[in-house]
């Protein structure tokens, strides 16, 4: 999938960072929260990585599953 040319669409890791948002990662098998930040994801895969319909090549350190869910963390005013 290619990044959107619409300036209002947040679809890449870099656009998430620019908007002050974040990512939360969790294992779908053991429900462990992964210790992976948006900054680390950008370092690993680049700012232009589209995260919509993307399965990051990550493995759970608890059970070894590669079935990982990724959730966008919205910017909360005042935090």
pLDDT at 4: 63
Cα four-point dihedral sign 40, 73, 14, 60:
positive
Per-residue HEC secondary structure of 39-72 comes to HHHHHHHCCCCECCCCCCCCCCCCCCCCCEEEEE
Q: What does the alpha-carbon distance between residue 57 and residue 8 come to, in Å, rounded to a whole number?
A: 27
**Boundaries of every domain in the chain:** 13-73
- pLDDT, tens only, 20-63: 999 999 999 999 999 999 999 999 999 999 988 888 899 999 99
At 27, is the secondary structure helix, strand, or coil?
A: strand
């Amino acid at each position: 999938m290619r990044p959107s040319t619409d300036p209002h669409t947040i679809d890449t890791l870099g656009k998430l960072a620019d908007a002050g948002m974040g990512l939360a990662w969790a294992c779908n098998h053991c429900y462990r929260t992964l210790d992976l930040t948006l900054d680390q994801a950008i370092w690993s895969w680049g700012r232009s990585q589209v995260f919509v319909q993307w399965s990051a090549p990550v493995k759970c350190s608890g059970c070894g599953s590669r079935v990982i869910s990724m959730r966008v963390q919205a910017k909360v005013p005042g935090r």
